[in-house]
Each structure stands twice: as structure tokens, then as C-alpha cells.
Amino acid sequence: MTLEDIDHLLDLMAKEAQDKADEAFLPGSISLSVDNWGRIPKDAGMRCTNILLGIRYRGVQVLVARAREGRVLNRAEDQDAGAPYFPLEPKA
């Protein structure tokens, strides 16, 4: 999964949530394998905001582990893994 893929999916989810007027369709979390994480450019804006909020990209929680697949989950799918939720930030 590339940064462009992630941005595209985040924007699609935001539009779907707006069209359906349902926050459950907003981006909830970004799931990346360690290999995917290693291929994301270091200056892409994915950073640890603080120890409690973890890694965030455009305000969305980034979950990294060896066994994860590269996916972007909406809030209904992620079972609160990305909480606390913040508004989606614009692309840098």
C-alpha cells in the first residue's frame, strides 16, 4: 500500500460519510504491516503525536504490526482501534 493509496481511500471514505450523513463511515484507522510501514517516506507526515495517541496520519490512527495487512478501515469496521477519533486533516 502506497501513500497515494492511503490518501485516496481516506478521501473516498470521507466523501461516503458525508453523502450518507453517517460518521461511522469516516476513516477509523490505517492498518500497515511492518514492510508497508518501512516503504512509507519518512517525511510523509506519519508521526507519533504522543505516547497516548500513537502514530497518526491526517488525524487517523496508524496501526503497525508484522501480522497486519495494508488496509484503511472506517470507524464501523475498526472496532474502536483508532479511537480517539479526530477530524480528517487535509493532505499536506
* Mean pLDDT for the chain overall: 95
Domains of the chain, by residue range, sit at: 3-74
| Interatomic CA distance for residues 81 and 45, integer angstroms | 20
Proportion of the chain above pLDDT 90, given as a percent: 96
Q: In the beta sheet, which residues pair with residue 71? A: 31
Model pTM? 0.93
